[in-house]
Amino acid sequence: MKKKILTLLLILAIIPTTLVKADDKHKFQLSRQIKIINSVIKDLNLFYVDSIMPEIMITKGINAMLSNLDPYTQYYPKDKAEELKMMTTGKYAGIGSVIRFHTDKNTTVLSEPYEDMPAQKAGLKAGDVLISIDGKPVKGMSTDSVSDMLRGEPGTILTVEYERPGKKGISKVKIERESIALPAIPYYGLQENNTGFVQLNSFTDGCAKEMRRAIIDLKKQGATSFVIDLRSNGGGLLNEAVDIVNLFVPKGKVIVTTKGKTKQANEVYKTTNDPIDLNSPVAILVDGETASASEIVAGSLQDLDRAVIIGSRTYGKGLVQSTREITDGGYLKLTTARYYIPSGRCVQALDYSHVIDQGKTSRVPDSLTTVFYTAAGREVRDGGGIRPDVEPKSEELSTLLYYLMRDMAIFDFATEYTLKNGTIAPADSFEISDSDYEEFKKLLRSRNFSYDLISVKVLKDLKKAMEFEGFAEITKEEIASLEKKLQANLDHSLTHFEKDIRILVASEIVTRYYGQKGTIIYGLNKDTELKEAYSILGDEKRYKEILTPKSK
C-alpha cells in the first residue's frame, strides 16, 4: 500500500513539471516566431528595392495567418471597425439602401432603398444606376468599395450622381447620412388557424425585446400557436438567443454551456426571466443557412421538447466568437469557445483543427456523431447542425432560375415594370398577368439570354469516361442523339418552369412597391414548409407524437 501511495505521489509531482515544460516550450517557440516576423519586416523596410506599404502588408499578413484557423476569426483594422459594430448591433450610418453590382452595366445599382431612410427621402429608387459619389466615378468598383463610400458619420452630406432607367441624362442629389437601424424582425402577423408568424433575420442587440413585443402583440390578436422563421438567419449575439428561448421555457433552465481555453470562455447561460408562454405549440423553420445563435434557439427548443423543428438540416456552427480591441483602434474577432446546448451536444459540423495539415476542412461524418437525448428522451445527435423533426420534401429549382437571377434579367424587368405601373395589388394577392409574362420572355430574347444545362455537362463527362474505357465508338450514335436533344431550348424552359419564374418575377416587383415586409407577405402563401408548420400546429395529436420518444 505504501509503495502504491509513493508511486501516485511521484506521478502527481511529475505531471505539473511536464505541463510547465510544455508551456515554456510553446512560449519559447511563439517568441522565436515573433522575432522572425520582426526581422523580416525590418529587412524588407531597409533593403527592398521599392518602398513598402506597412499597413497593407501587415493587414494581408495577419489575414493570411488567420486563414489557417477558421473563417470566423477575423482582423478588423481601424477603418473597418464599423463593419464589426454593424454585425453586432444592426446599426450603421449611411443612406439606407441595399445595393447590387450590375454585370451588364459594370457598375452598382440600388436594389432596395429602405422606407423613410435617406436614399428614399432623397428620391432615389430601386434600379437607379450609380455614376459617382462625391465626384468619384464608381464604374467597375466592387459593392464593398461603394458601400464604404456611402457610409460615414451621421449628419455628413454626400453628393450622388445617378442615371434612372427610362429617363435621359444624369441626375444629381445631395443626401444627408443618418444612423440606420435594421430591424431584426422585418415582419410578424397573425396567419391561418390563429397562428402567429414571426420572421427573425438576425440576432442583433435588442432582438429578444423585439421578439417579446411581437409574441405579446400576436397573443393579443388571438394567436394560439407560433411559427418562428429562422431560415437564412446566420446568427449573432449568444445572450439574445438565450433570452428568446426564455420566452417559451421556465426561468432557471440551462440553455448554453461554453467551453474554451480561458476561465472567461467557460460559462453557463441560464434563463433568468419569467416566460410569456409555456404551453402554446411552437414550430421553428430552419434551413442550411440557419447558423450559430439561430441553432442555439432551434436546438435548445428541440432539446427541451418545446418546439417542433421543420425544414432542412442547419449549417452546423457550434463555435463562439469574442472581440478584443487591439493596438490603434482595430479589433480581433476570434473563436474562444465551443457551445453546448441543453442535451449536452455541440452542433459544430466542420473540423477546423486539420486545416493546416490537410489544407482543407473535414465535415464530421454522420457515422461518427454521438447520440444525445432530449428532456423527454428523444434521440438527437451532435455534429452536422440541427436535424429537423420534420423535413418536408423541397422542390429542386432549375439552373435556369439561377441564371435568370445572375443575369439581372428579373431585376431589370421589375425596373421597367415600375416605370409603367404606378400601383399594384396588395402584396398578399399580387400576381403578374399573362401579358406581363410574355413581356418578360420578350426581354430575355432581346438580350440573347442563354444558360448552361447541368445535363449537358454530365453528358460531356460521361462521353470522356466512355472514351477512356473504350466505349466511344459503339455509343457514338446514342451520344450524338442525346447531344442534339439536350440543346438548351429557352422557350421550352420558360414554359416548363413558368410557375417558379412567375413567383421570382412577382416577388421582385412586390419588393419595389412594398419593400422587404411586402416580399415576406407575398411569399407566405407559396411557402410549402410554412404550410407544413400550419398543418402540424393545427393537429394536436400529431404535434405531441413528434415530441414523444419513439418506443424501442
Q: Are 489 and 456 in contact (CB under 8 A)?
A: no
pLDDT at 529 over 70: yes
- Residue 111 sits in which domain range? 91-181
3-state secondary structure of 279: coil
Reported confidence tier of residue 487, pLDDT bands at 50, 70, 90: low
Q: Which amino acid is at 195?
A: T
For the segment 319-326, the average pLDDT, to the nearest whole number, is 91
Q: Are 234 and 249 in contact (CB under 8 A)?
A: no
333 domain-assigned:
yes
40 domain-assigned:
no
For the segment 291-319, the average pLDDT, to the nearest whole number, is 97
Q: Output the domain CATH number for residue 332.
A: 3.90.226.10
How many CB atoms are closer than 10 A to CB 182?
16
For the segment 159-181, the average pLDDT, to the nearest whole number, is 94
Grid-cell match 471597425, residue found? 81
3-state secondary structure of 506: helix
Domain count along the chain: 3
Q: Are residues 304 and 411 in the same domain?
A: no
Q: Which helix (H) or strand (E) is 529 found in, with range?
A: helix 528-537
The whole-chain average pLDDT of the chain stands at 89
Q: Are residues 166 and 195 in the same domain?
A: no
Q: What is the pLDDT, as a whole number, of residue 360?
A: 64
Q: Are 375 and 300 in contact (CB under 8 A)?
A: no
Q: Are 493 and 485 in contact (CB under 8 A)?
A: no
Q: Are residues 379 and 239 in the same domain?
A: yes
Reported confidence tier of residue 13, pLDDT bands at 50, 70, 90: low
**Active-site positions?**
292, 303, 317
pLDDT at 20 over 60: no
Conformational region of residue 206, where left means phi above 0, alpha means psi within -120 to 50, and beta covers everything else: left
Q: Are residues 131 and 211 in the same domain?
A: no
Q: What is the pLDDT, as a whole number, of residue 307?
A: 98
Q: What is the pLDDT, as a whole number, of residue 231?
A: 97
Of 13-22, 235-244, 426-435, 493-502, least confident by mean pLDDT is: 13-22
Dump pLDDT digits (tens) for 175-219.
Answer: 999 998 888 999 999 998 999 999 999 999 999 999 999 999 999
Q: What is the pLDDT, as a whole number, of residue 186?
A: 95
Q: Computed over its alpha carbons, how large is the radius of gyration of the chain?
A: 28
SS3 of 5-50: HHHHHHHHHHHHHHHHHHHHHHHHHHHHHHHHHHHHHHHHHHHCCC
Q: Are residues 310 and 327 in the same domain?
A: yes
* Burial environment of residue 275 by CB neighbours within 10 A (0 to 12, 13 to 18, 19 or more): middle
Q: Are residues 148 and 204 in the same domain?
A: no
Q: Are residues 165 and 286 in the same domain?
A: no
Q: Are residues 430 and 358 in the same domain?
A: no
Q: Are residues 426 and 443 in the same domain?
A: yes
81 domain-assigned:
no
Alpha-helical runs (H) found in 48-177: 54-66, 81-89, 118-121, 143-150
The strand pair at 319-325 and 187-191 is best described as: unpaired
Grid-cell match 525590418, residue found? 42
Q: Are residues 140 and 276 in the same domain?
A: no
Residue where a domain terminates, one of 146, 181, 216: 181
Give bridge partners of residue 191 from the DSSP assignment: 195
Reported confidence tier of residue 403, pLDDT bands at 50, 70, 90: confident
Q: Are 315 and 323 in contact (CB under 8 A)?
A: no
480 domain-assigned:
no
460 domain-assigned:
no
For the segment 353-357, the average pLDDT, to the nearest whole number, is 59
Which residues, at least 6 apart from 331, have a Cβ–Cβ distance to it below 8 Å? 75, 76, 81, 84, 323, 324, 325
Dump pLDDT digits (tens) for 536-551.
Answer: 999 999 999 999 998 7
Give bridge partners of residue 174 from the DSSP assignment: 159
Q: What is the pLDDT, as a whole number, of residue 262?
A: 92
Reported confidence tier of residue 451, pLDDT bands at 50, 70, 90: confident
Q: Are 489 and 159 in contact (CB under 8 A)?
A: no
Q: Are residues 429 and 325 in the same domain?
A: no
